[in-house]
Amino acid sequence: MAFVSWEGVLALIAGALYGALFGAVPGLTATLAVALFIPIAFFLDATIALPAIIAISSVAIYAGDVGSAIARIPGTPASAAYADELHSLSRSRGALYGLGISALGSSFGGILGTLVLAGGALALATLAAMFSSFEYFWIAVLGLTAGIFASGRHLLKGFGSLLIGLLLSTVGVDPTLGYPRFHFGNPAFLGGLDYIAVMIGLFGFSEVLYHMGAGTNSARAADASIRREALSNFYAGPLKLIRKARKLVVRSSLLGIFVGFLPGAGADIGAWVACSLEKLTAKRQKNEERVVLAGVSSNNAAVASAWIPALSLGLPGDTVTAMVLGVFMMKGVTPGPLLFQEQMPLIWILFGTFLIANILLLPTVGLLTARIAGTALRLPFNLLLPIIAAACVTGAYAINNNPLDVGVMVLMGVVALMLRRGGFPLAQVVLGMVLGPILEQHFMVSAIKSNWNALSFFERPIALILMGACVATVILGIIAHKRRLTGNNEGG
């Protein structure tokens, strides 16, 4: 069986180039790139859309480092964790050297993440086949709990975002009696808010409004010296460093895999955790290369591992997988154990494209991206934003040919802008929207099945283990949160 078709390979290459553009331009994120691609993906076969999405997210996360290396402007939030170190390294040893570490480190992290994804997703799906509504309820609770603690410094705001997402998921008919809720008399809302329109609003249009409000006109001029650097600077030097610091690469990748696995966390947090750990445990004062290597291997490992809970349980590991789950739902594909029985070719395509993206695409497109970065960084923002705005409205409209979806998209963009300005995280809104129906449906089914006996939620062994995991997440989350606050206070 062929892992990937020729159309898939073409989609992979096109997705990589598209992801490279979005990642390289500061302010445009991997999530935005995927959000704008989703309406197109909706019309494509899953075997073509999936490779493209994987290539977009993998390459955009790497390309986010280009801005950091050249102009100290992180292209994506995942790059911000080590932007200073990468820029300083690029100034002292050349931008191609810094970007070589980034591309090859990302590649190694991504390969490790993919291997764990292949093994972990299959194992988790086998286990999930034994789950009943009680276990799924606890899984949703676990996902929401982990999502709160992954929200950063202010847990209350993370919780608030999560509640908003859960609230959005209640629009439409309820899963118990089929009673219409919060549809404002409009039959179009009976099926719930269109997931993709909400995503485009939250991550695409809000980004446009944010930059319009801030008046971002253009990125700083790029350093043209990158074109004069030797090719060996991109491959030989970084490979030597990776061989020397292989334990660091493995450790950071495993950290990224773990963080990516947690619902709502993703590559951004993976990079921050790995970089912080490297800075805390570093023996030498000046260890820029190691900090960058830790960050890049961690964030791309997280990109792959975020797919583990998404495929096997239907829980999104990050915003990209949340959007992919939305596409799955709209195409009638149900993530979970059945996916591994009914759609195995699709799963193999996914694993195969992840490997191709990390083994071939990052080292090659990575170099190409670095070479053309100067041009990409000079793109005037005041022309780029209108194009993105047009793509957002077209994308939202194109899903169902429904003008109402454009209205929903615009409204969500405004809500996201206000949330962002108030310091509320957006990923938790998505998490709430995805997990809300799972939580409510399985709670109601379990409650009715057990004649509203609360003890029935604690009777099954796997349900008890999952409940224990929820308690452990809360305890560990509080400890980690307190440590983070203490660290921040000591650091000023």
Partner 1 sequence: MPYNSIYLRIPGIVFLILAAAIWLGTRSFPSLPEGYPGPGLFPNALAFLLALVGIGLLWRPTAEVVRATHQLSGKGVTRILGGLSGALLFLLINPLTSIGAAAGMTCLVCGVAMRARIKAVLITSAATGVMIHLLFSGLLAL
Give yes or no for residue 6 binding partner 1 (CB under 8 A): no
In the bound state with partner 1, the residue whose beta carbon lies nearer, of 214 and 344, is: 214
Give yes or no for residue 217 binding partner 1 (CB under 8 A): yes
Near partner 1 by CB under 8 A, which window of 60-68, 241-249, 282-290, 391-399?
391-399
Site string for partner 1, 395-424 (x = CB under 8 A): --xx--x-x--xx-xx--xx--x--xxxxx
CB neighbours (10 Å) of residue 197?
29
Taking the complex as a whole, how short is the minimal distance between the CB of residue 480 and partner 1, in angstroms?
18
Give yes or no for residue 487 binding partner 1 (CB under 8 A): no
CA-to-CA distance for 124 and 9, rounded, in angstroms?
28
Taking the complex as a whole, how short is the minimal distance between the CB of residue 430 and partner 1, in angstroms?
16
# residues contacting partner 1 (CB under 8 A): 64
In the bound state with partner 1, the residue whose beta carbon lies nearer, of 126 and 375, is: 375
Q: Which of residues 148-177 bind partner 1 (CB under 8 A)?
A: 153-154, 156-157, 159-160, 163, 166-167, 170, 174, 176-177
Give yes or no for residue 390 binding partner 1 (CB under 8 A): yes
Q: Which of residues 440-479 bind partner 1 (CB under 8 A)?
A: 440, 443-444, 447-448, 452
Contact at 8 Å (CB) between 116 and 358? Answer: no
Give yes or no for residue 383 binding partner 1 (CB under 8 A): yes
CA-to-CA distance for 108 and 243, rounded, in angstroms?
11
Task: Return the structure tokens found at 479.
Answer: 């400890």
Find the farthest-apart pair of alpha carbons in the chain and give their distance in angstroms, rounded.
73
Give yes or no for residue 330 binding partner 1 (CB under 8 A): no
Contact at 8 Å (CB) between 256 and 267? Answer: yes
Q: Give the residue, chosen from 1, 6, 187, 215, that forms a contact with partner 1 under the rule CB under 8 A.
A: 215
In the bound state with partner 1, the residue whose beta carbon lies nearer, of 407 and 487, is: 407
Query: Phi, psi at residue 450, to the nearest 5°?
Result: -100, 15
Taking the complex as a whole, how short is the minimal distance between the CB of residue 390 and partner 1, in angstroms?
4
In the bound state with partner 1, the residue whose beta carbon lies nearer, of 81 and 304, is: 81
What does the DSSP assignment read for 213-264? HHT--BPPPPPGGGGGS-THHHHHHHHHHHHHTHHHHHHHHHHHHHHHHSTT
In the bound state with partner 1, the residue whose beta carbon lies nearer, of 291 and 396, is: 396
Taking the complex as a whole, how short is the minimal distance between the CB of residue 14 and partner 1, in angstroms?
13
CA-to-CA distance for 156 and 164, rounded, in angstroms?
12
Give yes or no for residue 393 binding partner 1 (CB under 8 A): yes
How does 68-106 read in b/e, with b if 16+ C-beta sit within 10 Å?
bbbbbbbbbbbbbbbbebbbbbbeebbbbbbbbbbbbbb
Contact at 8 Å (CB) between 374 and 19? Answer: no
Site string for partner 1, 12-41 (x = CB under 8 A): ----------------------------x-
Give yes or no for residue 81 binding partner 1 (CB under 8 A): no
Give yes or no for residue 368 binding partner 1 (CB under 8 A): no
CB neighbours (10 Å) of residue 328?
21
Contact at 8 Å (CB) between 34 and 53? Answer: yes
Tell me how many degrees the CA angle 84-245-479 measures, rounded to the nearest 5.
Answer: 65
In the bound state with partner 1, the residue whose beta carbon lies nearer, of 208 and 269, is: 208
CB neighbours (10 Å) of residue 177?
8
What does the DSSP assignment read for 443-454? HHHHHHHTTT-G
Binding site for partner 1 (CB under 8 A): 40, 43, 153-154, 156-157, 159-160, 163, 166-167, 170, 174, 176-177, 179, 181-182, 205, 208-210, 212-215, 217, 380-383, 385-387, 389-394, 397-398, 401, 403, 406-407, 409-410, 413-414, 417, 420-424, 436, 439-440, 443-444, 447-448, 452
